[in-house]
Amino acid sequence: MTAMSQTSDRGRARLIAQWLILCAALVALMVVVGGVTRLTGSGLAIVEWQPVYGVLPPLSAADWQKLFDAYRVTPQYRTLNPGMTVAEFRGIFWWEYLHRLLGRLIGVAFFLPFAWLLWRQALGRDQIRRYSVIFILGGAQGALGWYMVKSGLIERPWVDPLRLAAHLMLALLIYALLLWEAMRVLRPASDTLPDFRWPRARKMTKVALGMVAATIFTGALMAGSHAGFAFPTFPLIESEFLPSSYFGYDPWYFAPFDHLATINFNHRWLAIATLLLVLCAWTESRWLTLVPRARRIANGMALVGLGQVALGIATVLTGVPFRLASLHQMTALALFTLALALVYELRPPERV
């Protein structure tokens, strides 16, 4: 391979990685905005799914009135916002509009460069297959989002917590796949030096990553059920460490998704367990000879993990204020990102 072809390959790899990272950043932004829509009660402001026509916002007073009239027949308006004015409706409309607009932007930002790369024959067969899966998952995410919204337009004044959690976890999966593919393109060869301890460190980090994802799932249940507002105390719930109602919910198998005390207890102590695993993974990594980049990722993961738990406790104790709750959600995504990156950094040295 000539020096010119090597330079060309490196430039193409950087271009593909930048595209994937941009898409991942847009997905991360969409997750953050989605969290804001939950906190502001904006998620049900738009009662129709119009993937094409919905791109344009209301342009006249008549358009606003039409959207507001459609919203006024929803359970959320009748139960939580009776008497809301059109001006107040605009305040919740824009967050949901931005959330849906970002979804459309992500689709365009992924599909157009993907089509161009296919046309230029710049992707390998395995890349085409993996990127196609990501594109399909993106389409499924839009459909799942509407399925979630529909659950709040019939009887209850908010979306079903389990559908919300599924919507968030699919977004997290898409985000993880985009980042992983970007790292594969940027650093195809492992920088981990041979060491008998690295398999244990990688296994611990993978478990920590899974626990972070599980904690995010229970956090979505907290947000969807508004359970965070129910018990502004820590570590006690209902004046008890383990609420007496924890085992008394009927049917018991719905308790993790419906019962506020159970949802709170599970999320809080799963978060503590996750922090312990994150710190164990960080400790394991301290014994390895890592490149400076990987060392910074490991140290950042430990620090963000500590900050995330502190933010969660502060959010509960202060009654779930908007800014603190939003920061708590963003930090969760940062912790997931760092854990994912460390898993990649600790991959087997012999694999390319």
The pTM (predicted TM-score) of the whole model is 0.93
Cross-strand bridge partners of residue 237:
240
Is the model's pLDDT at 53 over the cut of 80? no
Note the pLDDT tens digit of each residue in 270-314. 999 999 999 999 999 988 888 899 999 999 999 999 999 999 999
How far is residue 216 CA from its own chain's centroid? 8
Say if CB 145 and CB 43 are below 8 A apart.
Answer: no
Is the model's pLDDT at 2 over the cut of 90? no
By C-alpha distance, which of 314, 306, 208, 316 is closest to 263?
316
| Domain boundaries, given as residue ranges, for the chain | 1-188, 191-352
Is the model's pLDDT at 3 over the cut of 50? no
Is the model's pLDDT at 29 over the cut of 70? yes
pLDDT, greater one: 194 or 178: 178
Give the helix/strand (H/E) hosting 169. helix 161-186
Could you list the beta-strand ranges (E) of the chain.
none
